[in-house]
Structure 1
Amino acid sequence: MALPPGSTAPSAHSNAGAPPRYLAALILLASLFLMWGFITGINNTLLPHLRSVFDLNYTQTTLIESVWFIAYFVASIPSAKLIQRVGYQRSLVIGLLVMGAGSLGMMLAASIPSYGVTLAMLFLIASGITLLQVAANPYVAIVGKPETASSRLNLVQAMNSLGTTLAPPFGAYLILGRTKGGTVDSTTVLTPAERLADAHSVILPYGLVAVVLILLALVIARFPLPAMGNSVSRVSREERRSHSLWKHRNLVFGVPAIFIYLIAEIGVANLFVNFVSQPDIANLTAQQAGNYLTFLWGGMMVGRFLGSFIMQRIRAETVLAAFSVGAFVVMLITVFAHGPAAMWSLILVGFFHSIMFPTIFTLGIRGLGPLTEEGSGLLIMAIAGGALVFVQGMLADEYGLQWSFLLTAACELYILFYALWGAKPTGAVLAEEAAEPFK
């Protein structure tokens, strides 16, 4: 999937000599990363809330998040075509307005209340986020020196983690904290009247989110974003025939790496509240457990800032391998331990997950040269892997919630494989040739 000319990555030649030209744009893009991280983070408190309101099992609960990530697969190609038609800046505005419309729709879903309308509105919000993701990630990855791309994207992605860190207290207070289901233990059975009253708690937080999204859209509509270059995006048809994405091992194995990583990250985040609420783990109410999500996402934010610093001195593949080993170890502790040890080990996996998406992304597009756009698009589409989180929900229903985290541990092993072997670049575009657009 290729992004349109004039809407992808700027030449680093212009950036290298005059960083201030892009600094304001990168700061504005960082605010987008923060906002979509915040909205995604709300889901972690929204899901246990919906589980209580609609009396869902784990499979039905994780299906809600699956719908969210199916939007990445469905909306990626239409997003690229929209960018080609209306341009980069207008697409960002449209993406924010689509997210705002979905947030207003969540208020309607809570008023009815309706499980089906809730799914539809979450799909709409995620489609708006996809439009932002399609352009923002490759922009940040390419606007600078290739060797520091992982460091740069980790730094900006830290703002995404800041958003996910701020979201749990927001959701815990405005959603779980104002409901019957969120303030009692997990064994309490709610009456139909209590479920109906609980459903209305979603109206206020999503109303606030809608206002912020619309205001941010107005700011971006008036902001003088720099023109996007096309030095790594468009090549002649004759030249395009001489290149193939399938010759690039780092991309071929990078797409499933993103896909599999999302299964791990989303599974941990979505089932966290239910897991730590169990009597033999931490025995918390849903509201209390939601507050502990702050530590999970905070660890991810710290890890990305730290990873950005480390990768300026140590190869990205080496750092990725070390973090994947750490994630595997703490997930085994989560599966086999009990009490606070199991809770804190699950929290710690946020730190080890921190660098995985931005690092895999930049390793995946390394050396693609004129194929960078298409490779970036495939990696963004792979975010749809989060839709398979329902598989962990099925495992939780069948074998128990704690045992279901063995799936997460298995995902970490594939990331280790990618870091050690799959990320090594191969293909028709030599390192010197791939670097030409940055000269």
Structure 2
Amino acid sequence: MSNPHGAQNYQKPLVALTSLFFMWGLITSLNDILIPHLKGMFSLSYFEAALVQFCFFTAYFIVSFPAGRLVESWGFKRGIITGLLIAGAGCALFYPSASLASYPFFLASLFVLAAGITILQVAANPYVTILGPAKTASSRLNLTQAFNSLGTTVAPLLGAMLILTQQHADGSKLSAAENAASVQGPYLVLAVALVVIALAFAYLQLPEVSLKEDQQAASANDSNVKSVWAYRHLSLGVVAIFAYVGGEVSIGSFLVNFMEQKSIAALSLEEAGKMLSFYWGGAMIGRFAGSAIMRVVPANKVLAFNAAIVVVFILLSMLIGGHTAMWLMLGIGLFNSIMFPTIFSLALQGLGKWTSAGSGALCMAIVGGALMPVIQAWFADNINLLMSFSIPMVCYLYILFYGLKGYQPKSA
């Protein structure tokens, strides 16, 4: 989409926005630590533990369209501040959840937290695509998403040390109450940090690129479009976001338990949690590299290539097993890296006045992170964990299609 503000320098607001991408990356990745922690704490099956991701990502489905309306009415800046405050409240709710040692309360807290993150995503992702030339939107969004990956890389290391540690320094086991309380400190710190960032954004001078201005820059054809779903590449992009988030979250959710298995790497829970940083660290490196690559290589070609590599990695992991399977799965993070921001920017291309609605639809599709882990968990419980990774493999096959054909802008 075109930039109605010409050559204006947006470096400062883009730098400020990176803090948001870092924070929601950190918070989302902590779910991969919470799952094995709560699984052990409450003696859950894989299916029951996957409800962590179900509750978190269901919020995207429920909140995305209202969030789009909120951003359209209030503007990007107020939308960002609202999202930060709601996410902070969700983090604060972890304290009573742990005190009560209640799994349903944990799930409710996660839903509130995710509702805030959803509003942040609906506001910040399209804001980044608008703040600059349309031809570099994918590159720009990948660069800011690289800081999201920095958060996802740091989170497993911190979470493994602060949450997954199962014994005291003297070697004695933590009690059930101590295990529950281990999440209180980290999430209270996150709550305070989110509120502080919200206050900082309240005082920042950000360019308020209104959607009404963007409507004026839209093509004349927009007057004939009655619904955002008339854009075929947006509709297929919604499915691609569903597939990508579902595949990525499924893999991340079960990697710790995957690496624990004797047939794979036989790591302890804490060791496996720390190894998860390789998965998310690869995503960070890939996004920085991808931001540069996509300035010379078409974004859709990079997307298709990466999806094909991930399919091969998953297939080889299921066939080979052992340490090789562990490293192949961890290596998927590198190729996951550019997928979300690239699909997002390709799907928003040329939407004009429908950009806000398109962003809401794409964020709604993040519900894939709720459904796909639950489906994979069923296979893990009833067949085996290794073969259950065929579920995310199907997701990446669809992304391959989107990168080759589905991204092409045309009205339905």
Distance 2:352 2:68 in 1: 19
Cα gap change, 1:340 to 1:81, in 2 (>3 Å): same
Q: Counterpart in 1 of 2:313?
A: 330
| Alignment equivalent of 2:402, drawn from 418, 424, 436 | 418
Matches within 5 A, 1:13-412: 13-14=4-5, 16-19=6-9, 22-177=10-165, 179-180=166-167, 194-229=175-210, 230-233=212-215, 240-388=223-371, 389-412=373-396
Deviations 1:280-330 (A, max 9, x none): 111111110010111100000111111111111111111111101110011
Q: Does structure 1 conserve the Cα–Cα contact (< 8 Å) formed by 2:153 and 2:277?
A: yes
Counterpart of 2:380, as a letter, is A
Quote the offset at 1:168 in angstroms: 0.6
Q: Does structure 2 conserve the Cα–Cα contact (< 8 Å) formed by 1:261 and 1:412?
A: yes
Deviations 1:219-267 (A, max 9, x none): 1111111121333347899964445434422112111010011110000
Quote the offset at 1:13 in angstroms: 4.2
Give the TM-score normalised by structure 2.
0.94
Deviates more, 1:148-157 or 1:83-92: 83-92
Quote the offset at 1:57 in angstroms: 0.3
Distance 1:242 1:381 in 2: 21
Q: Does structure 1 conserve the Cα–Cα contact (< 8 Å) formed by 2:278 and 2:330?
A: yes
Distance 1:233 1:390 in 2: 40
Cα gap change, 1:236 to 1:126, in 2 (>3 Å): same
Counterpart of 2:237, as a letter, is G
Deviations 1:343-372 (A, max 9, x none): 100101111111111111111111223322
Q: Counterpart in 2 of 1:437?
A: none
Deviates more, 1:74-83 or 1:101-110: 74-83
Distance 1:25 1:336 in 2: 47
Cα gap change, 1:239 to 1:155, in 2 (>3 Å): closer
Quote the offset at 1:196 in angstroms: 2.9
Distance 2:403 2:68 in 1: 29
Distance 2:79 2:225 in 1: 31
Quote the offset at 1:402 in angstroms: 0.5
Counterpart of 1:18, as a letter, is Q
Q: Does structure 2 conserve the Cα–Cα contact (< 8 Å) formed by 1:52 and 1:195?
A: no
Q: Does structure 1 conserve the Cα–Cα contact (< 8 Å) formed by 2:26 and 2:152?
A: yes
Distance 2:328 2:219 in 1: 51
Deviates more, 1:132-141 or 1:247-256: 247-256
Q: Does structure 2 conserve the Cα–Cα contact (< 8 Å) formed by 1:233 and 1:373?
A: no
Distance 2:80 2:352 in 1: 25
Distance 1:196 1:420 in 2: 52
- Paired residue secondary structure (2:182): helix
- Paired residue secondary structure (2:375): helix
Counterpart of 2:333, as a letter, is G
Quote the offset at 1:98 in angstroms: 1.2
Deviations 1:158-200 (A, max 9, x none): 01001000101110011012x249x99xxxxx9xx83333111
Deviations 1:376-423 (A, max 9, x none): 221111111111121111111011111000111111110111111111
Distance 1:114 1:143 in 2: 43
Q: Counterpart in 2 of 1:432?
A: none
Distance 1:83 1:368 in 2: 16
Counterpart of 2:198, as a letter, is A
Distance 1:425 1:86 in 2: 29
What is the Cα-based RMSD across aligned positions, in Å? 2.3
Q: Does structure 2 conserve the Cα–Cα contact (< 8 Å) formed by 1:53 and 1:196?
A: no
- Paired residue secondary structure (1:68): helix
Deviations 1:4-35 (A, max 9, x none): xxxxx9x7242x4231xx22111111100000
Distance 1:139 1:101 in 2: 24
Distance 1:301 1:238 in 2: 38
Distance 2:402 2:363 in 1: 17
Q: Does structure 1 conserve the Cα–Cα contact (< 8 Å) formed by 2:219 and 2:352?
A: no
Cα gap change, 1:18 to 1:232, in 2 (>3 Å): closer
Cα gap change, 1:375 to 1:156, in 2 (>3 Å): same
Distance 1:29 1:138 in 2: 12
Q: Does structure 1 conserve the Cα–Cα contact (< 8 Å) formed by 2:31 and 2:52?
A: no
Give the TM-score normalised by structure 1.
0.88
Q: Which runs of 5+ in 1 are unaligned?
A: 1-8, 185-189, 429-439
Q: Does structure 1 conserve the Cα–Cα contact (< 8 Å) formed by 2:76 and 2:124?
A: no
Counterpart of 1:357, as a letter, is F
Counterpart of 2:47, as a letter, is T
Q: Does structure 2 conserve the Cα–Cα contact (< 8 Å) formed by 1:180 and 1:198?
A: no
Q: Does structure 1 conserve the Cα–Cα contact (< 8 Å) formed by 2:72 and 2:356?
A: no
